[in-house]
Chains A and B, each alone.
Chain A
Amino acid sequence: MARRLAAAYNWFDERTAIRSLLRKGLYEAVPVRGAWFYTLGSATLILILLQLITGIFLTLLYVPSVTEAWASLNYLKQHDAFGAIVRGIHLWSAYILLFVIGLHMVRTFFSGSYKRPRELNWITGVGLFVLVLGMAITGAFLPWDQAAYWTAVVVTNIPAYIPFIGSFARALWRGGDFVGPITLSRTFGIHVWLLPVILFPLIGAHLALLRKHGEFGSYINYRGAYRSREGVDVPPAPQQRPIEPPYPALPTDELWAAPLQTEDFYPHQTFKDGVVSVGLVILVFILAVGIGAPLEAIADPSTTSYTPVPEWFFLPLDELLLLVPQQLIPLVLVLPAGGVLLLLALPFIDRDAERNPFERPAVMVPGAFAVLFVVILTLLGSGRLFNL
């Protein structure tokens, strides 16, 4: 039996080169120190896959129509306990994904991993972050309960403040001047097709670039970390491992080129990745079963008693909407757009080879202020809406 299996595997390998593909994929050299922090990327990927799987199954029931959307999810809630769990997993893994992708970004920022030759790793990552936010916002429209409806109204109204083409941009998303059936159809299509067909190839590019240049990790793995320390010798350059990736893939500053100590991705990093990811999956499952996904009353545009409360990840922008006076409303577009442009420009602004965060105050201090600004807006927003 075992011989037959081995023969089948050989047959398959001759035709697909699966053996060398697996070897190339699994025996990547990764930095040893700080490896628990490097699990955030794989955790992001696992959570996105969880979205994909649960999302696919939700389309087996959900109807993207203003008369049926709420009713189909209400049916799920009332009559289909397992389906309700699937929806709960979709919601809670989305919430946790937004946290984890944020942490992954902060870690990369902190460790200066975006520097030459990894500028495009960072830029594809910023693209993925924006797409995930887009998925979160469009997903929030779909239940067509009160929360979803008013989120749809407010979010699709923001483009109206783009100078000159504002009302055109708003109507393009809404499919008319007001939120209605076309808005829901379009947003559903954007959520399940348009954004994912960009998102998943971009994940492929992000991972291909990761493999090309190798996991940077953190400054503590590099000779450069010893340079500025008094009385400590810079250790000799590490031996080149026979395993890919060939640190460094591009000629770059020798002090930051190759980690001093590496180990195989499989099974050492996969163990840590697995522990973190399964922990998150368990957490998602507990939240999905314990709390589940809420469904408010069906959308009612004529309400004069309902107070719309934005999704928590929309709170910073909602607080800006409150704080920005009527003459400056386009600021709510300019600030996030400017933030994304700054993120995209980061590897070209901070070009120095130095990776130690404590030696890069010119980047770390503004970065910390930007994070603080978003956190303060979130706290102000939640304080206002939940009377905390």
Chain B
Amino acid sequence: MAHRDPRRLSRRQFDLLGTQVAGAVAAVLLGIPIVGFLISPLFRREEAVWRKVGDISAVPEAQPTKFEVSFPQQAWTTSDIKAAVYVVKRNGSYKVFSNVCTHMQCPVRWESALSQFLCPCHGGLYDMNGANVGGPPPKPLPQFVHRIDGTTLYVQNRFTETI
């Protein structure tokens, strides 16, 4: 029996290693673009746009008033998407809320009988200032980035804080 140097690869070991390397190369070459493709939308920030909401001079004091605004949709879709905007006027200053609940993002509504914003999904409650005052919501009602030119309200497709 021929003596074999244990430091040298046998043909079997070489072929085994080759098979594993081939598999690993294929997995990496496939894996990188697939993982990149999956997570790429996470790093693409949607373009900030300003949209006109309307004239807010008729919004009554301490009476949240609903407006609708259209924003461009995510990604490639050319049609707009509607969003609800609640304008609250208190002591001459304005707050501009979204209808997105901070618990599970259900559509919040102003309930004048309760004098609170109510989330119909799980009973979240917010007061007129947007503070989460009851139920499961962990954060205050989100506010839009906005500006007021005279009496015309503009909002951006951005919240002041991430939710």
Chain A residues within CB distance 8 Å of chain B: 65-67, 150, 153-154, 157-158, 167-168, 171-172, 175-178, 180-183, 300-308, 318, 321-322, 324-327, 329
Contacts and interface: CB of A to CB of B under 8 A. Distances in A.
> Size range of the interface on B?
35 or more
Interface string B9-53: 000000000000000000000000000001101101010000000
B91 interface: no
A181 B41 CA distance: 11
Q: Which 6 pairs show the lowest CB-CB distances between chains A and B?
A: A180-B74, A302-B82, A304-B109, A307-B120, A302-B84, A175-B41
- Grouping DSSP codes into helix (H, G, I), strand (E, B) and loop, the B interface class, with mixed when no group exceeds half, is loop
A17 B39 CA distance: 48
Contact of B99 (A158, A178, A302, A324): A302
A333 to B, nearest CB: 13
Given A168-B42, A171-B42, A304 B77 contact: no
A306 B77 CA distance: 24
Contacts of B83: 301-302
A157 B102 CA distance: 10
A361 B91 CA distance: 66
Contacts of B106: 150, 153-154, 308
Contacts of B123: 322
B110 to A, nearest CB: 7
Contacts of A154: 104-106, 121
A175 B74 contact: yes
Interface in B124-139: 132, 136-138
B75 A182 contact: yes
B42 A322 contact: no
A304 B82 CA distance: 12
Contacts of A318: 121-122
Contacts of B46: 176-177
Given A304-B99, A304-B109, A326-B138, 4 more contacts: A154-B104, A168-B42, A326-B136, A326-B137
A67 B79 contact: yes
Contacts of B84: 301-304
A68 to B, nearest CB: 10
A301 B74 contact: no
A181 B109 contact: no
B68 A180 contact: no
B78 to A, nearest CB: 8
B99 to A, nearest CB: 6
A153 B136 CA distance: 16
17 contacts: A65-B77, A67-B79, A154-B104, A154-B105, A172-B38, A172-B42, A176-B75, A301-B82, A301-B83, A302-B82, A302-B107, A303-B84, A304-B66, A305-B109, A321-B104, A322-B123, A327-B138
